[in-house]
Amino acid sequence: MQQQDQRYLMEFDRLEKSLNGMASSPIHKLRKEAIARFSELGFPTTRLEEWRFTNVAPVSRTPFEPVLQYDPAGVTAEVVNRYSLGDSVGGLLVFING
C-alpha cells in the first residue's frame, strides 16, 4: 500500500472517532463500504488497464481532510487555491458541505 493510501485510511479512522452518534447513520455505512474497498485497491495507477489514460497521482497527493464543522464565511479564494490541483484550463467547482 502506498503512503498516500495509508494517509487516507488514517484520516478515515480519525473521522470515525469524532462522529459520536452519527456513526450509525446511513451515509456513514456508505463511507465504511467505500473505505473498505479503497483499503483493498488503493489509488488506481496508469499500470491498470482501466486507468491507463487517467493519471490520478495529483489527486492522491492532495491532502484532503474531513471537515466536521465549518464556517462558510471562512472559505476564501486563498483557502480554495491551497487545495486546488494546480493550473487548469477549465473552470473550478468548489463544493461546500456536499
pLDDT of residue 15: 84
pLDDT of residue 61: 85
Q: 81-98 burial by CB neighbour count: b if 16+ within 10 A, else e? A: eeeeeeeeeeeeeeeeee
Nearest alpha carbon to residue 35 among 18, 17, 51, 12: 12
Q: What angle do CA 17, 79, 22 make, to 5 degrees?
A: 20
Q: Is the Cβ–Cβ distance between 51 and 43 less than 8 Å?
A: no
Per-residue pLDDT tens for 24-48?
888 889 989 999 999 999 999 999 9
pLDDT of residue 68: 64
Report, as ranges of residue numbers, the positions in the chain whose pLDDT lies below 70.
1, 66-70, 97-98
